[in-house]
Amino acid sequence: MTTRRNVITAIAAGTAAGLFGRGGIAMAQDVSVVALAAPGPLGDVTLGADDAKVTVIEYASLTCSHCAAFHNETFAAFKEKYIDTGKVKFILREFPLDDLALLGFMLARFRGNDKFYAVTDLLFTQQGKTWAKPGDQKPLDSLLQTLRQAGITQEDFDATIKDRKLYDGIIAVRERAASEFGINATPTFFINGKRYPGALSLSDLDKAIGPLLAE
């Protein structure tokens, strides 16, 4: 049985891959825009105009190198071109592939959603450098030291680990994505309901979004 205690025990032991599998789910194609629009228990944290013609939803894991590549190499240009101009509404949703990513997302949601993108951006930028490092024997310490840059204290960290609502909310988003939308790898994007797996380039996004804006 998977419980919060199992997760935190696994993290503390230095395990960053134990509880979540990546296989066994049929690959879905396009999905219902209405179904996708329904947020998880913690709500969506959106960027861009609510009435944008195009909605881009990314399911990501904070420890996924491909997700980090997208956010570090493509996201800034994508945001400037489409989100900041009101053409696209963007939503990042949690699909943790391991225990450490789960805790990272919990910390990004700590005390509400005001720091969600600041924290996730920091973790993607520092992935493999100051935290989520191969062979790290103290992953919790590394994660906390990284997040001190975002103002998260030891007390915040300890409280987050014990927060059942955060844990259950993020697990619910992941489980629904897997069971209902067939997601089994990250990143996976949905652009107005059409599925695009893998780390998209700006050119890929242009090709997918351009025709939708022209409609």
- pLDDT at site 28: 43
CATH of the domain at 110: 3.40.30.10
CA distance 73 to 79: 12
- The number of domains in the chain is 1
Domain holding 16, by residue range, is 4-207
- Provide the residue type at 164 as one letter: R
Among the listed residues 183, 157, 160, the one whose alpha carbon sits nearest the alpha carbon of residue 20: 183
Within-domain flag for 215 = no
Under the banding of pLDDT at 50, 70 and 90, the label for residue 4 is very low
Within-domain flag for 156 = yes
Global pTM value: 0.88
Integer Rg of the chain from CA? 17
Q: Is the pLDDT of residue 2 over 50?
A: no
- pLDDT at site 152: 95
- Mean pLDDT computed over 178-188: 95
- pLDDT at site 111: 82
- Mean pLDDT computed over 142-161: 95
